[in-house]
């Protein structure tokens, strides 16, 4: 029973070193996990959305170009 509990805590805190004060350890790990998740989402959002963002900002600047000018090769 005790050994399974200690295995579980080791699995939860991947980057942590020992099993001392669990409260600070899990806060830091939660922050790291959230920051990794948000960086991954930011990377995907930038990858797909940066050029459309520039196009949207550009099409709304004045004098406003029209859609035909955007798509035509001339």
Partner 1 sequence: MADLLPPLTAAQVDDKTKVDEKVDYSNLPSPVPYEELHREAFMSLKADNFEGLRFDFTKALNQKFSLSHSVMMGPTEVPSQSAETIKIPTAHYEFGANYFEPKLMLIGRVMTDGRLNARLKADLTDKLIVKANAQITNEPHLSHAMFNFDYMGSDYRAQLQLGNSALIGATYIQSVTNRLSLGGEVFWAGVPRKSGIGYAARYESDKMVATAQVASTGAVVMNYVQKISEKVSLATDFMFNYFSRDVTASVGYDYILRQSRVRGKIDSNGVASALVEERLSMGLNFLLSAELDHKKKDYKFGFGLTVG
From 15, 19, 23, select the one nearest 3 (Cα to Cα).
19
Q: 8 vs 64, which CB is nearer to partner 1?
A: 64
For partner 1, the binding residues (CB under 8 A) are 43, 46-47, 50-51, 53-55, 57-59, 61-65, 69-70, 73
Q: How far is the CB of 28 from partner 1 (least distance, A)?
A: 16
Q: How far is the CB of 10 from partner 1 (least distance, A)?
A: 25
Q: How far is the CB of 52 from partner 1 (least distance, A)?
A: 9
Q: Token digits for 26?
A: 């899990």
Angle at 42 between CA 38 and CA 44, to 5 degrees: 120
Q: 18 vs 63, which CB is nearer to partner 1?
A: 63
Cα separations (Å) of 73 from 14, 57, 67, 69?
53, 20, 12, 8
């Amino acid at each position: 029973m005790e050994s399974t509990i200690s295995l579980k805590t080791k699995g939860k805190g991947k980057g942590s070193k020992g099993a001392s004060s669990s409260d600070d350890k899990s806060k830091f790990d939660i922050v790291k996990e959230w920051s990794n998740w948000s960086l991954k989402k930011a990377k995907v959002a930038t990858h797909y959305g940066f050029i459309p963002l520039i196009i949207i900002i550009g099409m709304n600047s004045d004098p406003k170009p029209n859609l035909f000018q955007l798509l035509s090769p001339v």
